[in-house]
Amino acid sequence: MPRGDSPRRPRRTAQPRSRTARRRPARAKRPRSLAWRVFRALMLTGFVFGLIAAAAVAGYMRYLDTTITATFEGRRWSVPAVIYAQPLELFPGALLSMANVTRELNRLGYREATGTPPPGSYQRGDGSLDIHLRSFRFIEGPRESQRIRLRFRQGTLVDVSDPSGRAVPLIRLDPAAIGSFFPSHGEDRVVLAPDQVPPLLVETLKIIEDRNFDQHPGFDLAGIIRALWVNVRAGEIQQGGSTLTQQLVKSYYLDNRRTIERKVRELLMAIILDARFAKPDILNAYVNEIFLGQDGRRAVHGFGLGAQFYFNKPIDELGADEIATLVAVIRGPSFYNPYRHPERALARRDFVLDRMLESGLITATGHTAAKQQPLRVVRGARLGGMYYPAYMDLVRRRLDALYQDDDLTTSGLQIFTTLNPPVQESIEQAIAETLQDLEQSRKLPANTLQAAAVVTSIQTGEVLALAGGRVAGFDGFNRALNARRPIGSLVKPVIYLKALESGYNLTTILDDAPVNLTLNRQTWSPNNYDRRVYGPVPLVRALGNSLNLATVQLGLRLGVEEVADRLETLSGHRPANRFPSLLLGAEAMTPLEVAGMYGTLASGGFYMAPKAVVAVLDETGQPLSRHSIEVEQRIAPDVASTLVRAMEAAMRYGTGRSSRFARAGVAGKTGTTDDYRDSWFAGFDGVHLVVTWIGTDDNQPTQLSGATGALKVWDAIMTRLAVRPLHHPPSNTLRTVDYQSGLLADESCSEELVSVPVPWDAALQTHPGCGIYDRSLSERVREWMQRF
């Protein structure tokens, strides 16, 4: 045995194991810990829930993707119908001064410039104006931007020419946009195509709201961190973390709730939107969608409307400071409201201008000039971008029968109307100033009185202006359209018209005597305004002095039903009152209905329903409807002229004699109701018919008659419009008579003379003391034959 070797052990001989032999017990496994078992269960549960969550997220993302793709690809903003006023027509001979035209240019947002004026501006010269007109799509078709020169002399436009000196017979300024028919949710906008958006606005939006817009996938983590750092350093919110895409999603798809769920949805939708659509498409959608302010019930969306709302001009005419103001407002339209918080808005605007300089968007010189500008937002005056809700009610009423609501609120229609902005401004100012003066002089509480007014053209029936209350631009109860009040003595011209048509003339003697009628076992005994009885009076005086007793006697003789029917043919309003009280105006009508009735008298007997709409174009400029003037003769011209002469006498010697225009060739009639609850006046000159009403909304007495209330408003309006005397057709039957007696007279025996048409075969007596006599029948026949 070698050294070192250990002795071998003897081998054991393997013995066969008995089946009954006992086995060695196996080693028992160590049981798992409780923590491990809990962990494994949680892992398994988490995996299962993870699969479910992943499937849910995938399904939700699929749903969002479908929603976004379907709505964004086929997006069509609700573009409300835009309503335009009458454009100012410029032609040689127009009674327009340089001040008139520049005022209208300023209303439209034109700016005075030096050198060659760009579009939307003008330059003054020595008795001349150089204007660079904007392009505009009129009813007849589009007009390109062009330059014109106007020359004035003594308050008249004497020449219109183009830059080459060639005469221009007629041209129009672009009309003022006076409002929109926006949907119930209130959104209003002017949609801009990508090529209509100024590049400076696009780049400014990026540097202020989203520096990495062109690179990020819809959200910007670096931008969030940067905004947080800037805001912490500034101690205020100067930058936001949301990208332009997120802001668009928030405005276009989501509500304003601040919840984690909404924020997650915003993030997911922004990622999908950015992945599905091109950056320029997203940016253009943002430009048209973003909320920029509130104007009453109207929500101002998009930069197209924002430019008009804040600066009263198209977006392509904005300067750097104005673009900076619009971008500044985005951060908080209420917080940075330039009307309510001009200091905040100015500071924010300057911050934007600083960033524009740092990014090289504007030069140092441009930056300095822009920061020196004040906030140039328009305010106060009723300018082209302002809203006229009372007149808009009338337009809407005229179109409701022709168009569905969706057509008017979402289809981008162009509606051309008859509104005349200078006339509208005149009635608004006149009402506000006169009511304040009346309340002070009568010692009434402030804002006690309310008013309404309608101005129409006597030649066309076009409604040039309409005020529904004393507060200009108030979007509420429209008294001109909806306030039905008893018209009082405004009904009397209808009765006297019926008399003239029945063989009476202005010198016919009426009996101003007491009236006692028993109706339903009650006695009706009206009185004159001053409770006096005047006995025999000529018809012209009975109307001019508004004598109730003579009018009732005449109306009963003619027949109440006949008078009611005549009222309906003149106004289109069917009287509900068919009793004798109708003869004193116990019939409720609106100021607009009264304007329709008096318009028939003022136009020489031609009925024209008050017209507000000229034409409607679709969004491509194609005409959908044209609203021509519908004329129907309802009074013989000679009879209408005779009645108008009587109403002129009413102004000169009767209830209208307190007017400053009583002897200026105007015609009119006062109206007063019981207990002085309503004060009315309807009057006209050679161009305008104006109906005014004063009262209270709770129907309380006003202490005002037609002459002491509504006539004052009429005077204030006509002062601003400039009176143009009435002209009558020549007549062979005119006689000069004394207003009080109806007898032939001249200056030697009467101070109240009126020329009235009298039938050629009627004999008249001479006023005592006058050295004139009435011609015999044979003399009148001979004179008539000679004239014929």
Residues recognised as catalytic: 209, 489
Question: Which tokens hold the place of 24?
Answer: 């060695």
Q: Are 129 and 160 in contact (CB under 8 A)?
A: no
Distance CA 392, CA 466 (A): 9
Residue 207, beta-bridge partner list = none
DSSP notation for 306-355:
HHHHHHSS-GGG--HHHHHHHHHHHT-TTTT-TTT-HHHHHHHHHHHHHH
Q: List CB contacts of 439: < 8 A, sequence separation 6 or more.
A: 445, 446, 447, 448, 449
The dihedral built from the CA positions of residue 471, 473, 476 and 478, taken in this order, carries a sign that is: positive
Which of 607, 706, 603, 604 shows the shortest CA–CA distance to 654?
A: 706
315-339: burial string, b at 16+ Cβ within 10 Å, e else: bbbbbbbbbbbbbbbbbebeebbbe
Q: Residue type at 56?
A: A
Rounded to 5°, the CA angle 636-638-641 comes to 110
Which of 523, 199, 530 shows the shortest CA–CA distance to 361?
A: 199
Phi, psi of 181 (to 5 degrees): -100, 85
Instruction: Work out whether strand 187-189 and strand 298-301 pair parallel, antiparallel, or are unpaired.
Output: parallel
Q: Which residue has the tokens 């601040």?
A: 258
Strand residues in 425-507 grouped as ranges (E): 450-457, 463-467, 485-486
State the number of CA atoms in the 13 A half-sphere of 117 facing the CB: 23
Phi, psi of 684 (to 5 degrees): -150, 155
Q: Are 176 and 421 in contact (CB under 8 A)?
A: yes
Q: Which residue has the tokens 């524009």?
A: 356
Helix (H), strand (E) at residue 46: helix 34-73
471 secondary structure, DSSP code: S
Distance CA 705, CA 683 (A): 15
Q: Are 748 and 689 in contact (CB under 8 A)?
A: no
Per-residue CA distances from 513 to 407, 519, 559, 742 (Å): 59, 19, 18, 18
